[in-house]
Structure 1
Amino acid sequence: MTQFARLLHLVDSAIPTGSFAYSYGLESSITFGLLKTPFGLRNYLYSYLQQVASMELPFINSCGKLASTGPGPELRDIVEAYDAMLLVPTIHRASLVQGKNWLKLLESFYPAARMQDLGAWFAAEELPLHFTLVFALALTRAGFAVADLQTMYLHMALRDQLSAAIRLGFVGPMAGHQLQHDFYAIFEELLASHAAKEYQEASRSAFLLDTAQVFHEDIYSKLFQN
């Protein structure tokens, strides 16, 4: 029960990792007319979550399995593969910022887990400290189950997108939270399809979203980073 409460704390929107500063293509999708209606938002969210599931969950699974062995050559392969699949420069930079913030946070929360050893290994190997990877590595080191982390990651992805939609004025708070409630129904489908995959099976599936993320920098006045 205490571990569940700790997990709830870590998914709290007030946790200072920086995720709420980014829209991950939502703002540019709205600005350039790719997203025009509430129904379109539903389609967008489904595509977004499908890409999160197919891309991120296999990496979380593979990183989670390294909790008992620690960093090594296999982790280097995982990091290099993930780094190569982040195609949008601004998303790449955001991942590094949030990865650094996340590890710093977990170091202060779980000093006995020696999170600093992870950071030291990444620095020594001169590898990028991406958020998704350090998210899984740090939390499994802290004793959380991989299955819970995958569900937690989907929750954070959905929550951040809908929070951005509300702050952009595209939907109201009530409608946004109704959407969040409705979309939890597809989590089991996404987890069943992707949660057992390894990082070699990870794939990107929402290429129009990638395009919207690239064009985010062309917005004249921005509420969010990308």
Structure 2
Amino acid sequence: MNKYARLMHLVDSSLPTGSFANSSGLESSITFGMIKDVFQFKNYLYSFLQQSASMDIPFINSCFNHQNLDDNLLQVTESYNATMLVPSIHKASVIQGKNWLRLMASFYPGDDTLEISTWFSKHAIPIHFVILFPLCMKRAGFSLPDIHTMYLHIVLRDQVSAAIRLGFIGAMEGNKLQHDFYTLFDDVLEKYLTKGYTEASRSAFLLDTAQVFHEFIYSKLFQN
């Protein structure tokens, strides 16, 4: 019960991780007419979850399965950094990663968190959230299936919250939609449960285009 309560706390939207400052391209998708109604938003959410699974879950698997902070993990980290081609998304990923590291250092003070922080500093590499998340959660005692579910929950929660804050959908409708989408997690994850980072792939290129277009919005609610 204690572990379950901690798990619920770590996915709480009140944690200051910085994720709510970004819409990951949702705002520009709505502004430029790529998403016009709830039906299209549902399709967008499914595509977003699919890309999160195909791109990020293999990297999460590889990081979780590395027992040590070594050169092989460095290669995984550098490969992920090379995929972050949109500057604003790269920046958001690093900010969220740094915030998460400070959060975990506060919740779980000790040598494990300090070791991770020292390793990133030693190699002078960006602290991306997708890389840091499984490293910290493993050391906090959570299993890989827990981490998979937590990550997709965070991805889904942030997108639905962004849609509500943009006034695109109402709070009740958004939360009902989020509840319904949990039934898709197993299907979305199924193909990527055992894949490593060399098998990661992007599956929704229009999402990347929307993220690039975000900078051209005249008045923005979100950074990206």
Counterpart in the other structure of 2:8: 8
* 1:176-203 Cα deviation digits (max 9, x unpaired): 0111011111100011111211111111
Identity percentage of aligned residues: 59
Shift of 1:114: 2.6
Counterpart in the other structure of 2:174: 176
1:194 counterpart SS class: coil
Work out the CA distance in 1 between the residues paired with 2:36 and 2:193: 32
Work out the CA distance in 1 between the residues paired with 2:61 and 2:215: 32
Work out the CA distance in 1 between the residues paired with 2:111 and 2:81: 26
Counterpart in the other structure of 1:57: 57
Shift of 1:85: 1.0
Amino acid at match of 1:54: S
Amino acid at match of 2:123: E
Q: Is the 8 A contact 1:136 1:149 kept in 2?
A: yes
Q: Is the 8 A contact 1:63 1:137 kept in 2?
A: yes
1:111 counterpart SS class: coil
Does residue 108 (structure 1) correspond to residue 82 (structure 2)? The answer is no
Work out the CA distance in 2 between the residues paired with 1:28 and 1:2: 40
TM-score, normalised by the number of residues in structure 1? 0.97
Work out the CA distance in 2 between the residues paired with 1:136 and 1:130: 11
**Paired residues, number:** 224
Counterpart in the other structure of 1:31: 31
In structure 1, runs of 5+ residues without a counterpart are none
Work out the CA distance in 2 between the residues paired with 1:178 and 1:113: 41
1:114 counterpart SS class: helix
Shift of 1:141: 1.0
Q: Is the 8 A contact 1:59 1:202 kept in 2?
A: yes
RMSD: 0.8
Counterpart in the other structure of 1:158: 156
Matches within 5 A, 1:15-94: 15-66=15-66, 69-94=67-92
TM-score, normalised by the number of residues in structure 2? 0.98
In structure 2, runs of 5+ residues without a counterpart are none
Shift of 1:4: 1.0
Shift of 1:209: 0.6
